[in-house]
Amino acid sequence: MNTSNYVSQSSIRVRYQETDQMGIVYHSNYLVWFEIGRTAYTHDLGYSYRELEKLGVMLPLIEVKANYRAPARYDDEVIVYTTCTEASGSRLIFEYEVKRKRDEVLLTTGHSIHVWVNKEMKRVNMKEKFPDLFATLVASTTQKRT
């Protein structure tokens, strides 16, 4: 797989429980969908969060932002497009677009910032500790950074 400028795509059908009294997706569910996209992205590159944890590293979230543009409703099928726009030895930045599948209307955009830490929650330099994994992530980003 060519991972340069990689974009992961995750298909989600809106469940009834994800909607509010107005019949639209409740805002916090988009953050769950971002996590689904991010997890798919790392899986697509050959690494699961479980494997990362076995290596002794984790990626806690330190910032998340979502911009809501149009509502998703029950039973809509949406696609979460996920890209990694920065991979450095200390952090990753993911960007997201959520679109309704049937008409490709952009529903939400957002980003999340994560830092590499060990099990003691101390920062880890991935470039030094896991150079192969780091190289894979850098190769997949839309904006190359080291």
Catalytic residues: 20
* Cβ proximity of 111 and 93 under 8 Å: yes
Which conformational region is residue 39 in: left (phi greater than 0), alpha (psi within -120 to 50 degrees), or beta?
alpha
Residue 103's nearest CA partner among 72, 134, 129, 126 is 72
* Cβ proximity of 59 and 121 under 8 Å: no
Is 43 in a helix, a strand, or coil? helix
Residue 14's nearest CA partner among 76, 68, 62 is 76
* 106: its two tokens: 């952009």
Cα gap 95→137, rounded to integer Å: 14
